[in-house]
């Protein structure tokens, strides 16, 4: 029996006329993109023009998935990273060490599928208060909601901070999308 994530992926594929997604390879997937943290910048458009960046600033080469690939977003992380260092989840502490609000939008194709989702500091919106302080900077989508990025459709994530998150310790601001994915499976007869 398919779980909620699989059912959501199959329903979206069916609505788009993709009939063979159930024959594709299921996976867990995390994609991310990072932009330079410049002074006084409060708005970031992740995955837009992603082909101009390379690893370690991103792990994708395009802001659209290949044929038969898709991702059901279950969690979104906003983080900072210093050059040649591991990412650190942002607790949305802004100027003068004061908590700030931030907004996250997700655009898929020409549709805004998540709009002005409030992320507050230091805890995060949704049910994150019960997940502990180590989850600051992570937004969990309800299992029944999950947002699906279908194949061959452009997507981007927009984050607007109340105040510039610039810090001497942070060189890049990043967004990671985590969830259930589908990959092209060529183990079928052609």
Percentage of the chain lying above the pLDDT 90 cut: 25
Q: What is the pLDDT of residues 138-161, one digit of tens each?
A: 777 776 677 889 888 999 999 988
Whole-number Å distance between alpha carbons of 110 and 118: 22
Specify the pLDDT at position 157: 96
Q: Is the pLDDT of residue 92 over 60?
A: no
Average pLDDT over all residues of the chain: 75
CA distance 43 to 40: 9
Rounded to whole angstroms, how far apart are CA atoms 142 and 145? 5
Return the higher-pLDDT residue of 99 and 164.
164
Residue 188 has pLDDT above 90, yes or no: no
pLDDT surpasses 50 at 1:
no
Distance separating alpha carbons of residues 91 and 112, to the nearest angstrom: 25
Contact 173, 165 (CB under 8 A): yes
pLDDT in tens, 62-85: 999 988 788 888 888 888 888 877
At the topology level of CATH, where does 4-183 sit? Jelly Rolls (2.60.120)
pTM: 0.78
- pLDDT over threshold 50, residue 128: no
Cα-flanking dihedrals φ and ψ of residue 118, to 5°? -75, 130
Best CA proximity match to 115, nearest among 103, 128, 101: 103
Tell me what the mean pLDDT of segment 81-92 comes to: 70
Residue 48 in this model has a pLDDT that exceeds 90: yes
In the chain, which residue ranges form alpha helices assigned H by DSSP? 4-15
Locate the domains of the chain by residue range.
Answer: 4-183
pLDDT for position 53: 95
């Amino acid at each position: 029996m398919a779980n909620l994530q699989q059912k959501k992926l199959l329903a979206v594929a069916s609505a788009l006329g993709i009939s063979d997604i159930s024959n594709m390879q299921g996976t867990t997937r995390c994609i991310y993109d990072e932009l330079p943290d410049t002074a006084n910048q409060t708005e970031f458009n992740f995955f837009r023009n992603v082909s101009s960046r390379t690893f370690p600033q991103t792990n994708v080469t395009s802001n659209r998935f290949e044929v038969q690939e898709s991702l059901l977003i279950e969690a979104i992380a906003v983080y900072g990273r210093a050059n040649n260092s591991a990412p650190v989840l942002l607790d949305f502490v802004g100027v003068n060490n004061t908590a700030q609000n931030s907004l996250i939008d997700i655009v898929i194709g020409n549709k805004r599928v998540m709009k002005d989702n409030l992320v507050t500091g230091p805890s995060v919106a949704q049910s994150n208060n019960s997940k502990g302080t180590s989850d600051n900077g992570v937004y969990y989508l309800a299992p029944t909601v999950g947002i699906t990025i279908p194949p061959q459709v452009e997507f981007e994530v927009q984050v607007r901070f109340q105040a510039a998150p610039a810090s001497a310790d942070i060189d890049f601001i990043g967004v990671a999308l985590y969830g259930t994915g589908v990959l092209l499976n060529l183990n079928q007869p052609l």
